[in-house]
Structure 1
Amino acid sequence: MIGPGTGVRVYLACGRPIYREYRELCRLLEDRGIDENQQPIEIMKFWHWERQQEIPHQRISSYLFAAVARRVVMGEKKIVDRGLINDVRTISTYAPYVDALFIDKRCAALLKEEPLRAELEYKARIFSLNNPDEFLGYLQEIESQTPDEVREYAAMIYGID
Structure 2
Amino acid sequence: MTGPDPAARNPSFRYRVYWEDTDAGGVVYHARYLQFLERARSDWLASIGVHQVPLRERHGVVFAITKMAIDFRKPARLEDELSVTVAVIAIGRLRMDFEQRIERDGELLLTATVQAACLDAERFAPKRTPAEVRERILAAAGAMTPAERGTRD
Taking structure 1 as the reference length, the TM-score comes to: 0.27
More helix by share: 1
More strand by share: 2
Q: Which has the larger radius of gyration?
A: 1
Taking structure 2 as the reference length, the TM-score comes to: 0.28
